[in-house]
Chain A
Amino acid sequence: GESVGLHLPTLSVQEGDNSIINCAYSNSASDYFIWYKQESGKGPQFIIDIRSNMDKRQGQRVTVLLNKTVKHLSLQIAATQPGDSAVYFCAESPTSGTYKYIFGTGTRLKVLA
């Protein structure tokens, strides 16, 4: 598999428990945020996004929370499953209308059976 996750922080969670993955973003002017999931040897997949005029958004088994005061983003995964094992990273869009995102380094999620 790919070596992209060699030096990443790791979160180990029991199957069925909830997972919380955190991300600190850098620019207070960022107005759009995305969480991606990357499995070994594959490209990142979009999970959920949120705009800066919201503080919470829910998807299927996932919730993203945005705290603009402390520039913090979190991804909550309910009832974590083995298929959730991957590297998760956030991305921020510093300015509306630009194509350029800033990506976090990621967190490796390991689901324990």
Chain B
Amino acid sequence: NAGVTQTPKFRILKIGQSMTLQCTQDMNHNYMYWYRQDPGMGLKLIYYSVGAGITDKGEVPNGYNVSRSTTEDFPLRLELAAPSQTSVYFCASSYPGGGNQPQHFGDGTRLSIL
């Protein structure tokens, strides 16, 4: 199994541009998550989803949007890129069960806003 796959791996954007970070998983996990990791820091939750059609805000949702039309896919959209959004973005997924279910991560998208 591929697990959690993120595309692209790297991207440079200009201020004000928009883009969509793609995330897909083949483990039939109901729960999916988007985190960002700034240099030398831990991960912060942006958005999460408990199933197709259901999404909710995490700790740092401003400037981002998500959708969940299928179990497999959970894209993250940046509408107006800002330098503060320069970060590494990780997508994760898990089975239901909250704290007793480990989250499995993709390898990340490294995004620079110039």
| A interacts with B | no
Contact residues of A with B, CB < 8 Å? Answer: none
